[in-house]
Structure 1
Amino acid sequence: MNILGISAFYHDSAAALVQDGDIVAAAQEERFSRIKHDDGFPTQAVGYCLTQAGITAQELDLVVFYEKPLLRFERLLETYIAYAPLGFRQFLASMPVWLKKKLYLSRELGRALEGHYTGRFVFTEHHESHAASAFFPSPFDEAAVLTLDGVGEWATASFGVGKANRIDLQQTLEFPHSLGLLYSAFTYYTGFRVNSGEYKLMGLAPYGEPRFADLIREHLLDLKDDGSFRLNMAYFCYCHKMVMVNKRFEQLLGAPVRAPETPISQHTMDVAASVQKVTEDVMLRMSQYVFEQTGMTNLVLAGGVALNCVGNGRILRESPFEKIWIQPAAG
């Protein structure tokens, strides 16, 4: 059976081809287009995967898209209604691509495949895709599954159990409360590009002291024993603006948003160290809870937050899990 998986129209478009249960090819479109974080349809990546598998689009049995666009659209509408009239400009800017493409993805995918594929299109939930990408290629027959990212349709984190050829997700954390978006908010605040510069924030952290960590816990994040949390949205504006944080956030940390490409101060380094420390603590608390709930000794991780290798290292060293496996293209 030939299954083509596609991720597109957000960031880092990619394709993967699974043949009789084995991954035979996977590629990001930016490798061919030379456009960093290319978010268009991964035409060249799809072509590469088909060539590597030695098949044509007509021989595909199934084409799978990585999320459910109608559920994502529902979130956009409900978020806009909740904050209206704030966010009208952001809402208006997002509508053309939704009304032209994203609401009609079956049609768009068929066109992109030039009519050579006439079979069924399947849309899986975003965090189901993350979970599958973590568990099925892993070396484990059974494992706990933890996914952490910015946001999918509604979920921002999930956990469950993978056994043999089945994954059961048991619990989710939902938008706007998101560890990935918290980290991205600090990425923005420290002058780096969201969905691109998070690794720079992590790399900057060792040069600072986490002197703002308690401030973050006290004002921005209400962390529960099970690792779930609520963000204090009075400090964030990603729900209704094109920026991540507001003036209140800047006042809390004692400095304005750093302009990109300007010198990095010790204050910025300390902010990076602080949010990194809080992020690691949340990851550890979540993994502890997942261990208690699943009873598994193996853990697999995926989602953009699972690219935080320092946090992953602490899970490996300090959590009860005996073995962990991280999807290498976790984001």
Structure 2
Amino acid sequence: MRILGISAFYHDSAAALVEDGRVVAAAQEERFTRKKHDSAFPHHAAAFCLREAGTDLSGIDDVVFYDKPFLKFERLLETYVAMAPKGFKSFRMAMPVWMKEKLFQKSMLRDDLKTLPGGRAWNGELLFAEHHQSHAASAFFPSPFSEAAVLTMDGVGEWCTTSLGVGHDNELKILKEIHFPHSLGLLYSAFTYYTGFKVNSGEYKVMGLAPYGEPKFVQTILDHLIDLKPDGSFRLDQSYFDYCTGLTMTNERFATLFGGPPRRPEQRLTQREMDLAASIQAVTEEAVLRLARSIAAETGQRNLCLAGGVALNCVANGKLLREGVFERIWIQPAAGDAGGALGAALAACHQFKNQPRLPLNGHIDQMAGSYLGPAFSPAETAADLQAAGARFTVVSDDEVITRTADALAAGRAVGWMQGRMEFGPRALGARSIIADARSPAMQKLLNLKVKYRESFRPFAPSVLREDVADWFELATDSPYMLLVADVVAGRRRQMTAEEQALFGIDKLNVQRSEIPAVTHVDYSARVQTVHKETNPRYHALISAFKARTGCPVIVNTSFNVRGEPIVCTPADAFRCFMGTEIEVLVVGNYILEKDDQDPALKRDYKDAFELD
């Protein structure tokens, strides 16, 4: 049985294909269209999934959409009616779109499906899962657990913003829900907006900014914005927000509470924004901990699965792990709306069609390392690079590892494109920019001259799984870069009294450990453990780097510049290579040196994409 899952029309549209319970392929549309967070119907992603399965749409039994548009419209309408006449301007803008398109989404989807290969011959069933059902299914069914508690948290689906459930074999039951307008995700997004970042895009910047600040506003948030109960349930005071009926996330009362108007995008960051980030991060962590404790006590489960946009908050995830509320935690790598496509397909497979789950294989999950996107053959790679005007050398498998490890040890930034593209927001060693984590200058260099992004943003380490406990306070798998852990004390550098007295962004240039390029200002790091079973070439590369340097840790950041989706094709990789100060590009077995390239192909890449 083949099932195609679709998420679209809000942000991060995607497609995923499941065959007899096995995840065959999954990808976000943005990677193909090169439009960040593309929300359009995922024509390219769906066509890729069909190719990967060796079929066209006529060979698909069911297509499943990741939420229910009528329920979402019901929520929108009820919200406007409840708050009338406030929000009439927003209502007037939203209604024509809903009346013209969204209420007829089923027929729109059928029309879109007809444009796919084999679409006109398809006579399967078009199904709809609920939004948080899709999130929960994406969390539990691919996990390595036969049974687990399941927690999903995001902005909002139809009505639900938070759900607590239990999965057992091929069954998944939702036990409790928190409904709109009370939303942990929307609360965090309100602070994303207020601190000057883009909602549904910049939340991870708030998380990265938090360690530069002091959580001075925690009590203000708890006293005025959120009534957080001991069991983790909560209510938000809507008099401070404008997201229900307005055109912004917060209002003047919110601004008065925090002492001024929202920061304008790209305006200089001040200590206030850093303190606000630290404060909302602390409140989010406390809410997640209380929810987790509550579901653990209620269900007696020792395993926890997480999904929804809030599950991408790897700092909160790391704190939850350290608290020991659950013995094991598994987080869906595509935890946001893109992963809803996969969840919808899995919900149809196991819940609607009652198909059994695949046999469990120890600690190995069913996500194949999240390497579920397209790969390119040597012939396709060569043709793509030649068409772009690239000059390259073809080398053996062993030489790929040798030359790349030498480049890293020499302090060079390397574009690394290998195998199948990652599904989800993180680069995991298939579409990555990699570098030496021991370099004190690397974080600044990569931010300013390669990624063209804000200097405060941290980089993640890729570390051999077998060596992780020697470098980080982490004794478990973290293959998807969704857990934050501290650098172990023995690898840290003692700071001087003057350095310890620094505040805010002045902390940035202080070297804190043996691996300063991946050590955040609070000694933390967003860790990716690299496993031989899921990415043998990346594992071999880091092993070779370790043999040269004694260090099994390298910098891993996504292969793109600010505002650009992660590269998909060899041509994408070459364009990014020529538009940045990446010095070496390795695509499959093809190695490209910047000095060998035609200078006329260099691009002004810094302003090529809309800022995120």
State the TM-score, normalizing by the size of structure 1. Answer: 0.99
Does residue 250 of structure 1 match 2:264?
no
Structure 2 CA distance, aligned partners of 1:92 and 1:200?
32
Shift of 1:105: 2.0
Structure 2 CA distance, aligned partners of 1:119 and 1:126?
22
Q: What is residue 169 of structure 2 aligned with on the other side?
A: 164
Q: What is residue 4 of structure 2 aligned with on the other side?
A: 4
RMSD between aligned alpha carbons? Answer: 0.8
Does residue 285 of structure 1 match 2:290?
yes
Residue 149 of structure 1 contacts residue 181 of structure 1 at CA under 8 Å; is this kept in 2?
yes
Does residue 202 of structure 1 match 2:182?
no
Q: What is residue 326 of structure 2 aligned with on the other side?
A: 321
Local SS of the residue matching 2:230: coil
Q: What is residue 301 of structure 1 aligned with on the other side?
A: 306
Structure 2 CA distance, aligned partners of 1:319 and 1:257?
37
Residues 104-119 of structure 1 mapped to structure 2, 5 A cutoff: 104-114=104-114, 115-119=120-124
Q: What is residue 97 of structure 1 aligned with on the other side?
A: 97
Structure 2 CA distance, aligned partners of 1:236 and 1:185?
8
What's the CA shift string for 1:166-209, capped at 9, x where partnerless?
10000000000000000000000000010010000000000000
Shift of 1:225: 1.1
Q: What is residue 70 of structure 1 aligned with on the other side?
A: 70
Structure 2 CA distance, aligned partners of 1:219 and 1:103?
37
Structure 1 CA distance, aligned partners of 2:266 and 2:174?
41
Q: What is residue 14 of structure 1 aligned with on the other side?
A: 14
Runs of 4+ with deviation above 2 angstroms: 115-118
Local SS of the residue matching 1:16: strand
Structure 1 unaligned residues grouped into runs of 5+: none
Q: What is residue 346 of structure 2 aligned with on the other side?
A: none
Residue 210 of structure 1 contacts residue 270 of structure 1 at CA under 8 Å; is this kept in 2?
yes
Q: What is residue 272 of structure 2 aligned with on the other side?
A: 267
Structure 1 CA distance, aligned partners of 2:39 and 2:12?
5
Local SS of the residue matching 2:278: helix
Shift of 1:256: 1.2
Residue 158 of structure 1 contacts residue 172 of structure 1 at CA under 8 Å; is this kept in 2?
yes
Structure 1 CA distance, aligned partners of 2:113 and 2:224?
49
Local SS of the residue matching 1:113: helix
- Name the amino acid aligned to 1:100: K
Shift of 1:88: 1.6
Structure 2 CA distance, aligned partners of 1:116 and 1:78?
39
Structure 1 CA distance, aligned partners of 2:93 and 2:51?
37
What's the CA shift string for 1:42-85, capped at 9, x where partnerless?
00000000000001101110000001110000000000101112
- Name the amino acid aligned to 1:48: F
Residue 17 of structure 1 contacts residue 24 of structure 1 at CA under 8 Å; is this kept in 2?
yes
- Name the amino acid aligned to 2:179: E
Shift of 1:118: 2.3
Q: What is residue 445 of structure 2 aligned with on the other side?
A: none
Structure 1 CA distance, aligned partners of 2:99 and 2:252?
33
What's the CA shift string for 1:218-267, capped at 9, x where partnerless?
11111111100111111111111010111111111112100000000001
Local SS of the residue matching 2:24: strand
Q: What is residue 343 of structure 2 aligned with on the other side?
A: none
Q: Is the radius of gyration larger for structure 1 or structure 2?
A: 2
Local SS of the residue matching 1:18: strand
Local SS of the residue matching 1:145: strand
- Name the amino acid aligned to 1:261: E
Aligned match for 1:184, one of 162, 168, 189: 189
Shift of 1:148: 0.3
When structure 1 is superposed on structure 2, of 312-321 and 154-163 the one drifting more is: 312-321
What's the CA shift string for 1:8-30, capped at 9, x where partnerless?
00000000000110000000000
Q: What is residue 223 of structure 1 aligned with on the other side?
A: 228
Structure 2 CA distance, aligned partners of 1:118 and 1:101?
23
Structure 1 CA distance, aligned partners of 2:129 and 2:50?
21
Local SS of the residue matching 2:264: coil
- Name the amino acid aligned to 2:278: A
Local SS of the residue matching 2:63: strand
Q: What is residue 44 of structure 1 aligned with on the other side?
A: 44
Shift of 1:94: 1.7
Quickly say closer, same or farther: Cα 1:84–1:319, change in 2 above 3 A: farther
Aligned match for 1:129, one of 107, 131, 134: 134
Structure 1 CA distance, aligned partners of 2:143 and 2:106?
30
- Name the amino acid aligned to 1:248: R
When structure 1 is superposed on structure 2, of 48-57 and 315-324 the one drifting more is: 315-324
Structure 2 CA distance, aligned partners of 1:51 and 1:295?
43
Among the aligned pairs, what percent are the same residue? 63
- Name the amino acid aligned to 1:44: H
Structure 2 CA distance, aligned partners of 1:87 and 1:323?
45
| Matched length | 331
Residue 287 of structure 1 contacts residue 319 of structure 1 at CA under 8 Å; is this kept in 2?
no
Structure 1 CA distance, aligned partners of 2:79 and 2:189?
19
Structure 1 CA distance, aligned partners of 2:122 and 2:32?
22
